[in-house]
Structure 1
Amino acid sequence: MAVADSVLLTEIFFSLQGESSRVGLPTVFVRLTGCPLRCGYCDSAYAFYGGEHKTYDEVLQEVAKHGAKYVCVTGGEPLAQKNCLPLLTRLCDEGYSVSLETSGAMSIAEVDPRVSRIMDLKTPGSGEEAKNLLDNLPLLTTKDELKFVLTSEADYEWAKGMLSSHQLDSKCPVLFSPIWEGLKPDQLADWIVRDKLSVRMQVQLHKILWGEKPGV
């Protein structure tokens, strides 16, 4: 049974950050359970169900065991749990450099301002474009990052249009990422260079190192 000061947790693990501008940094990942989206390329579907309720104190104790500076709260969709917000604040209060990986389908308005919000905009190829909460876009700051996971050239063109129409690269760093074993990274790189986009291309370092599996 859940208690007031707890979250439903899938796993906590220590690894290298595989994405965002923090790529390569030793990081503790706190993966919360549950997600209202069903993206076609999802690599964490095992976090949709199950999990175990852990108090904030229990989460903090487990995080502290790893002795890391960086903590990433992810999912699933962590903001689907209202108790994610106070957990983020507790982590910041403990002095960690905290990032949040969120789908862009939930409001980021109440996230502690000390947290770096790594937010997706879901492309048509994800199957979940309609879930994008565009009201989040004006809330992004230079310490946040906006990520497009691309499945095809059509997704790339859509993302390029969003970049231009919303002037996204003036709000925060923008990341373009090819889906794993789908869109070829060199193809995406060629398009970005050809079009001289002001974006950062990223590949998923953790999958290059260890493959697609939980806990890395």
Structure 2
Amino acid sequence: MRQMAVITPYAQFLFQFVSDSPEKNVTIRFTRRTDIMPSVPLETKYHPSAVDILLIKRLITETSKQTLLQFLQHEFVNIGKSHAERLIGEMGPDFSPKMSVKSLTPQQIVRIHQLFRQAKFDDPSGDILSPAGEYNLRLGIIKELHPDMVATFSGSAQVFEGHPFIVEAGVSVGGKDVKQVRISLMVKYIKHGERNMLSPETDCVYSLCCISNVRSKGPVRMHLYLHLISS
């Protein structure tokens, strides 16, 4: 919960454990320090460079579009009508813009996936992501760790294999002790195509964070904080 409190200084958390023995009761409270919240993550469609064969099959099963041309246009980002027509032309003589997308054979789906991996597409937008922001990251570290010095950084959106991502980092010196932890899953913000703020699905925009400690020879302790937001 402390990791969550660092990355969300605009939220208040209360944990209570009530035991049969009153002396064993536990109450932990993380208070709010700001009302400034990150922008809400946006719903998005899949980027063609980021899908696999199983996902293409699932999209074909779930789509309401009738033709292959409509399917490519409306189920993926960065594929307009003219681009979709060129892609279909490169798929081979067994494909046509007006063919039923539901009639695609497994071999044809494999061909679509191969072309998605080979073709060039515009990068997806990083505007769908919801970074904590340098202000909130800095405020959260100060609120929970009370360091002597702190520095934070929030990078611009980058892209890897069709997935936009943003890296945020913070480092502080001194302050409260923090138990060493490995990387841990924090929040999965949004499922592609529908709002789902705490989805257990793997195809979500998600947030990862980790805190680690570096001991010096003296009493000074350094805290490193990494926040990765991606789709």
Give the shorter-chain TM-score range.
under 0.3
User: What is the TM-score when the length of structure 2 is the normalising length?
Assistant: 0.22
Give TM-score scaled by structure 1 length: 0.23
Choose 1 or 2 for highest CA Rg: 2
